[in-house]
Amino acid sequence: APSSTFMDTFLAASRSLLAVGSFSAHALALLMGGLAQLRVQPGEAWMQLYYTQLLDCLGECRGVHLARTLSSLASLDCSPPTPLLHACLAAAALRMRHQDLDPGAAAELAWAAQRLHARSRSHAPGGVEAEQAWLQRLAQAAPQQGR
């Protein structure tokens, strides 16, 4: 694992880049994926910048980017703001309609949605019912991806 000095320098540099919106959706997915693999918790201020950049990039996010990003957030036990989580899930639903979410990414996304919603359930509009309805739509759409 990288030294704490390296990670502090890396997080400071990436924070500066997040602040000016320098990352693409793909780069954001890779960034969070790397932090998840290293089990690095960047801190609240860094995460807020990340969430802002992610929201700004949702229009360019492919299904695989959303799956990687959300599963990385879930594996780090992050709690993204509920509106951001709902926006990501809406973007994922759109990606499914455009057949831009393969079955593996759909499974990863379903796992992440369950983990992230479990943390924000009490604050989410629609609560458990909204989560169950979304997961049912995901399950119905997934078999169509191979057709």
Q: What is the value of pTM for the model shown?
A: 0.81
User: Domain range for residue 80?
Assistant: 4-146
Alpha carbon distances (Å) from 145 to 24, 41, 95, 120, 134: 25, 34, 11, 29, 17
Element (H, E) at 62: none
Q: Which helix (H) or strand (E) holds 72?
A: helix 63-75
Domain count across the chain: 1
Q: Which residues, 6 or more positions from 145, have their beta carbon under 8 angstroms from its beta carbon? A: 96, 99, 101, 102, 103, 106
- Angle at Cα 6 formed by Cα 4 and Cα 7, nearest 5°? 65
Mean pLDDT in order along the chain per 10 residues (147 residues): 94 97 96 97 96 95 95 95 90 88 89 84 49 58 49
Residue 124 has what pLDDT? 47
* Res 127: pLDDT: 47
